[in-house]
Structure 1
Amino acid sequence: MTQAQSSTDAAAGGDGTQERAEAGGRDRALDRALKRFVRWWRPTGMWRRGIVLAAVCALLTGVLFLHSDIPNRIGNLGSLLETFLPWLGVALPLLFVLAVLRRSTTALIALLLPTLVWLNLFGGLLTDKSSAGGDLTVLTHNVNADNPDPDGTAKDVIAAGADVVALEELAESQAPRYARDLAAAYPYHSVQGTVGLWSRYPISGVAPVDIRMGWTRAMRAAVSTPDGKVAVYVAHLPSVRVKFDAGFTAGQRDRAADALGRAISAEPLHSVVLLGDLNGTMNDRALASVTSQMRSTQGAAGNGMGFSWPAGMPMARIDQIMVKGAEPRSSWTLPRTGSDHLPVAARLQLPHD
């Protein structure tokens, strides 16, 4: 081996050592960076814990805040969500407990967002907004066609002391029994199809309301109160179902609600009261043709959520008393009868000429 060759090999060996050293340095730098990232991501600090909980809070906030933008195109998902929207609040205390157990400041701060949105939507229903006064008490009750004790239900209705009573889901075989039982307390009444109206005051202008059902499940009458005539609508909108293959089947109810809304908007009398089982809540956008022009007595003068169905464990307010041209003073649910719905009542202040 010549001296020149040795010099060449040494130079080559020196270059390889340097390259290996540089590669090893890069590997160590990458390893240090990876360890720093793992230490940052690992939930060891109070700000870093609870990232998943914070994400759940953000998702819940979005659902509450943007519920009206959730489309109905797929199984009426938006309407189904809005029917039980208040129940999303049940997640708030659960998330709070999990955030505390996780000792996560991040999750606790994130939880403020859905809490504030929920309170903005439903916080007003948690307080008692009833007030004194009122000159007309109204009551509505889906008595259930399979009610095993219609006579007892009629007695409960009379005991409530309402001036005007609306009953829905009147079976043909039971309607005469209700008429007989309520006659002494309510001398004026009319039954149209499966809905009926009983009143202490004279009624006139009685007529069925076409809500595109093919049979009568809604009616209108003018009640002559001491403070003037009031248009009273009684309605039982079609039932809705949740099916695995079809989702929230509410199309027939939605069409009926639109027809009812058009009838009410054409009402010539100033004071209008709607009593009935609408098979939907005030949050359900599908009822907008009605809810956009009338006020819910529960929202304006109630105490609590006022859930009315199912009677054994009420989860939704689908039995409604709504008004326009009258001022709600109080609104409440009554004890359970033989029906699967709770009766609901309200006291109204009518305008004085």
Structure 2
Amino acid sequence: MTEQMVDERAAGDPSGRPDRRGLLVGLLAVLLAVLLAGHRVVPNVHGLGSLVDSVTPLLGLGVPPLALAALLRRSRRALLAVLLPAVVWAALFGGAWLPPAAGTGPSSIRVASQNLRSGNPDPAATVDALAGAGADLIGLQEVDDGDRVDVALGQRYPHRAAVSTVALWSRWPIRDSVGVDTGLGWDRALRAVVAAPQGDLVVYVVHLGSARAGHTVTRDETLAALAAKVRDDHASRLVVLGDLNTATTDRVFAPLTRLLNDAQADAGQGFGFTWPAELPVTRPDHVLYRGLTPTAAGVLHTPDSDHRAVTASFRW
């Protein structure tokens, strides 16, 4: 028996069969890497593609248990295979955890957006937390008790625009506001022109259609309608605040990301998940912008809402 044959037998079991320890772990690792890299090619049938897109950042959670399984199986090949999804995930999302290059310098304006939650038992406490964070503009969705919110914010934010269940409170005068049709059959978005000290700023406050498992058509149509409105809006400085009911990793978000930048991606750190509030696993709430320079972005855990709030600061 040659030395090479002895080595091959040593690599397997005593009977000389190939070593299959960790084979399943290695296959799962490769499949995970393929899903991470190719999530956009998953057919978007009944919203499946959108769902996979939205949870893709969470797929990295599969790497540690696969690595542990490879170690328990004492399989070097499986452990090497687990490196593949780890590298793919880091290439796709690792940059979100690096210090933001844009998050420097003084700010001219700070904005916040919050889905209050319909039936919120104490909306005043929720919005008081937003005001305490120093926001100049507060966009709200699911406002079904505007009077209590107005009492809480009125002295600090004397200017308000509202349409159905969305509203904007501002420290500065609101020059004009109109409802925005996103195809729901009723306006659940508004466009306002805020007379900020540095000049006019167009602000959209938006609550897009809901998405449910197997049914994303309404959400997709409202997102496309919003993108069309923004595309036709020639304002040089523009901000979109709202619950868009999808994550920026979702393929249907592309029409908006071609028109606007994401404050969290440019000036925040981490994924900025907002829902559900107690243990957020996705980010349906957004601050999108153009014509401004972001200096900071983050998430605020407010009381009595099922969403966390999103915040962003900009300079002119």
TM-score by length of 1: 0.83
Task: Identify the residue that residue 230 of structure 1 maps to in structure 2.
Answer: 201
**Deviation per CA, 1:209-249, whole angstroms, max 9, x where unpaired?**
1100011111101112122111111100111112xxxx2x1
Given residue 114 of structure 1, which amino acid in structure 2 is its aligned partner?
Answer: P
Report the secondary structure of 1:144's partner residue.
coil
User: Of 85, 107, 113, which aligns to 1:140?
Assistant: 113
Matched, 1:62 2:12: no
Matched, 1:290 2:256: yes
Task: Identify the residue that residue 189 of structure 1 maps to in structure 2.
Answer: 160
**Deviation per CA, 1:109-151, whole angstroms, max 9, x where unpaired?**
1112111111111111122313232211000000011101112
User: Of 302, 305, 310, which aligns to 1:344?
Assistant: 310
Report the secondary structure of 1:268's partner residue.
coil
Instruction: Compute the displacement of 1:202 (Å).
Output: 1.3
Kindly tell me: are residues 109 and 176 of structure 1, through their superposed partners in 2, closer, same or farther at Cα, counting changes over 3 Å?
Answer: same
Instruction: Compute the displacement of 1:40 (Å).
Output: 5.9
Task: Identify the residue that residue 5 of structure 2 maps to in structure 1.
Answer: none
Instruction: Compute the displacement of 1:331 (Å).
Output: 0.6
Matched, 1:98 2:69: yes
Instruction: Compute the displacement of 1:154 (Å).
Output: 2.5
Task: Identify the residue that residue 160 of structure 1 maps to in structure 2.
Answer: 133
Matched, 1:200 2:166: no
User: Of 150, 166, 185, which aligns to 1:179?
Assistant: 150
**Deviation per CA, 1:81-113, whole angstroms, max 9, x where unpaired?**
111111101101111111111111111111121
Asked if 1 retains the 8 angstrom alpha-carbon contact of 2:180 and 2:191, the reply is yes
**Deviation per CA, 1:304-334, whole angstroms, max 9, x where unpaired?**
2111011111111111011111121111111
Instruction: Compute the displacement of 1:291 (Å).
Output: 2.1
Report the secondary structure of 2:182's partner residue.
coil
Asked if 2 retains the 8 angstrom alpha-carbon contact of 1:208 and 1:219, the reply is yes
Alignment root-mean-square deviation, CA: 1.7
Rounded Cα–Cα distance in structure 2 between residues aligned with 1:64 and 1:161: 38
Rounded Cα–Cα distance in structure 2 between residues aligned with 1:339 and 1:300: 26
Rounded Cα–Cα distance in structure 2 between residues aligned with 1:89 and 1:231: 37
Report the secondary structure of 2:305's partner residue.
coil
Rounded Cα–Cα distance in structure 1 between residues aligned with 2:99 and 2:166: 31
Specify the structure having the higher radius of gyration (Cα).
1
**Deviation per CA, 1:175-221, whole angstroms, max 9, x where unpaired?**
12212221111111111111001111111231111100011111101
Task: Identify the residue that residue 296 of structure 2 maps to in structure 1.
Answer: 330
Report the secondary structure of 1:76's partner residue.
helix
Rounded Cα–Cα distance in structure 2 between residues aligned with 1:218 and 1:40: 69
Report the secondary structure of 2:35's partner residue.
helix
Matched, 1:218 2:189: yes
Report the secondary structure of 1:241's partner residue.
coil
Q: How many residues align?
A: 303
User: Of 236, 243, 253, which aligns to 1:270?
Assistant: 236
Task: Identify the residue that residue 116 of structure 1 maps to in structure 2.
Answer: 87
Task: Identify the residue that residue 304 of structure 1 maps to in structure 2.
Answer: 270
1:79-90 alignment runs, 5 A limit:
79-90=50-61
Rounded Cα–Cα distance in structure 2 between residues aligned with 1:154 and 1:330: 20
User: Of 14, 25, 38, which aligns to 1:53?
Assistant: 25
Rounded Cα–Cα distance in structure 1 between residues aligned with 2:17 and 2:239: 59
Rounded Cα–Cα distance in structure 2 between residues aligned with 1:335 and 1:66: 33
Asked if 2 retains the 8 angstrom alpha-carbon contact of 1:128 and 1:304, the reply is no
| Structure 2 unpaired stretches of 5+ | 1-11
Rounded Cα–Cα distance in structure 2 between residues aligned with 1:84 and 1:336: 24
Instruction: Compute the displacement of 1:42 (Å).
Output: 3.8
